[in-house]
């Protein structure tokens, strides 16, 4: 055989092997190229997006700072994965990438592979399935019955993960049916464990809505609300002196969260606080360590009460509330965001 023809004949084979290897590697690790220098103003958002993406997909994301030559604005943050731009500066987030939209974009483009027999979907994708009212789609709430009775997604049924085996007859007969499991947010493992059990039974189209019930509510999507949904709760409050003592102790076992808008946070906040506006509190709750005390505050208590309730629904165990108005009235120090700082930063 002609050596040149042999080369051309081997090329497609080599390319195919390379493609298979690339796909295999792709399922293990993705490289995220960002035209944002290390430690830049948007790097915290991008790093958080990578962490959450890893959590929902079991894929390791490597962030590689790199200025992209194909960007019209060299200063506009953008993300490229495997040579494709998957997200660019998309709105009023201090000129940075909206990390939640980035994660949704990655999932939408199929960058998230099936993991242990299931695939993760986002809020918009689940809403489409719910709105379709298809008999081939079953949405399952994997939480306990009390949580389900308080509030759940319309048309969903309750199959608590701990009672999965004794209630598996509730699953569809057809193994080709679409089954969606959800529970209380990205740190709730019930939906994942239930999904794995369903996949082990032979179901082929198993999905997990990992953002969960708190984010669904936060987006003002339709819900079924039970009689106890608006039941008043009593919060555990910290006085200004107690809050100051906790800060001055230097302890690292707590996180102080300002749930007001970014502009309010920038104008003045309690030193050491991070900013997660209550309007997207559940969606960004992945930043909060469940092993630490979480202290939420706003000016007079309304929004921090909502944040407190969301933390309860997200199954946080050690939650406190304090008030910024009381802090200022007590003459305590107030920090402000400098121009080069980002409101959502860790050190306000």
| Distance of alpha carbon 286 from alpha carbon 52, whole angstroms | 7
Q: Is 21 a catalytic residue?
A: no
| Whether 345 contacts 274, CB under 8 Å | yes
Give strand pairing partners of 157. Answer: 140
Reading the block at residue 243, the tokens are 């809050």
Give strand pairing partners of 140. Answer: 157, 181
| Whether 269 contacts 334, CB under 8 Å | yes
| Distance of alpha carbon 78 from alpha carbon 88, whole angstroms | 4
Q: Output the CA angle 237-150-160, nearest 5 degrees.
A: 110
User: Which is nearest to 290 in space by CA: 206, 203, 184, 195?
Assistant: 184
**DSSP strand E in the chain: where?**
29-34, 60-65, 78-81, 84-88, 118-121, 137-141, 151-152, 157-158, 178-182, 205-209, 224-225, 254-258, 274-275, 293-298, 319-323
Reading the block at residue 81, the tokens are 């994965």
| Distance of alpha carbon 231 from alpha carbon 45, whole angstroms | 35
| Whether 56 contacts 47, CB under 8 Å | no
Place of tokens 């019209």: 72
Catalytic residue among 42, 183, 188, 298: 298
| Distance of alpha carbon 28 from alpha carbon 2, whole angstroms | 39
Q: Which residues are catalytically annotated? A: 298
């Amino acid at each position: 055989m002609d050596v040149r023809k042999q080369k051309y004949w081997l090329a497609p084979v080599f390319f195919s092997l390379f493609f298979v290897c690339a796909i295999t590697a792709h399922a293990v690790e993705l490289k995220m190229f960002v035209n944002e220098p290390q430690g830049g103003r948007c790097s915290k958002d991008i790093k958080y997006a990578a962490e959450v993406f890893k959590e929902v997909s079991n894929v390791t994301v490597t962030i590689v700072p790199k200025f992209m030559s194909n960007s019209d604005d060299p200063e506009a943050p953008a993300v490229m994965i495997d040579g494709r731009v998957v997200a660019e500066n998309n709105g009023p987030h201090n000129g940075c990438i909206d990390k939640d939209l980035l994660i949704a974009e990655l999932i939408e483009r199929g960058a998230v592979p099936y993991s242990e027999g299931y695939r993760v979907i986002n809020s918009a994708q689940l809403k489409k399935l719910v709105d379709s009212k298809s008999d081939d789609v079953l949405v399952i709430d994997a939480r306990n019955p009390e949580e389900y009775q308080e509030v759940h997604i319309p048309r969903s049924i309750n199959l608590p993960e701990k009672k999965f085996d004794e209630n598996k007859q509730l699953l569809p007969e057809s193994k080709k049916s679409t089954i969606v499991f959800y529970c209380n947010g990205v740190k709730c493992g019930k939906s994942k464990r239930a999904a794995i059990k369903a996949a082990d039974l032979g179901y082929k189209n198993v999905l997990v809505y990992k953002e969960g019930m708190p984010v669904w509510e936060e987006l003002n999507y339709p819900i079924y609300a039970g009689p106890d949904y608006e039941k008043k709760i009593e919060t555990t409050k910290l006085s200004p002196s107690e809050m100051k003592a906790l800060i001055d102790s230097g302890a690292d076992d707590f996180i102080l969260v300002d749930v007001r808008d970014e502009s309010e946070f920038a104008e003045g906040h309690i030193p050491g606080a991070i900013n997660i506006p209550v309007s997207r509190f559940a969606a960004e709750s992945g930043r909060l360590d469940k092993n630490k005390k979480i202290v939420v505050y706003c000016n007079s208590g309304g929004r921090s009460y909502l944040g407190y309730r969301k933390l309860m629904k997200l199954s946080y165990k050690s939650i406190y509330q304090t008030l910024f108005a009381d802090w200022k009235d007590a003459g305590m120090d107030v920090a402000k965001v400098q121009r080069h700082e980002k409101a959502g930063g860790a050190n306000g």
